[in-house]
Amino acid sequence: MTTREQQARTALEKLMRQAADFADSWSIDRQEAWVAAIADMVRHEEDRTHSFGSSTPVPAWARREFDGRMRTGECPILSLGTVTDHVEWPRIVREHQVQLVNGYYETPPHGPAILAAYEHLTGLGYQPWMETEIHLTGVADDGTLQFQLEAGALYVEGPLPDRTVHRVSAELGELAVLNPTIGDAYGRSNVTEWAWY
């Protein structure tokens, strides 16, 4: 076993303790696939991101969309990474038939509402981003990793007119908490956040 594999196994053990009850639903195949993917990750130290390793069996489109944009996941799930950059999530969902869901609860806002709010902001010329986990959900018969996208918050930088804030808040529903003019962990300021985590 390589040092990176041992580190990934140690990370899995810690994750399973954090995830407590629902970690029991993680099949051995999923756990082993996660360990292999994490051990194979290519880390980019200069900006603390990573890419899928050459042996990680993910679709080519996932490499194009996410390589160099993923950060270490923070949720107690089998996360392949968290994307916090502006990414064309609606296009990715449409073109690649991958599911985007509320990453924290089975309550609103659901995927379609999140995508509608995202598209509304994009249509107004903003470049929104989300905190989105790439959650390993299974392994296909051919060995390809299967995942869903789990969004936890929607962000946009810059001053927003009240009507835009109200429209996005209405799209997301009452469970999305509005936090205007915050900074984020990546040095952006004057950020409006809608969070449901």
Instruction: Average the pLDDT over 11-18 and give the result.
Output: 80
Encode pLDDT of 45-76 as tens digits. 877 899 999 999 999 999 999 999 999 877 77
Residue 59 · residue 123 · CB < 8 Å: no
Nearest alpha carbon to residue 104 among 22, 4, 34: 22
Helix (H) or strand (E) holding 163: helix 162-172
User: What is the chain's mean pLDDT, rounded?
Assistant: 88
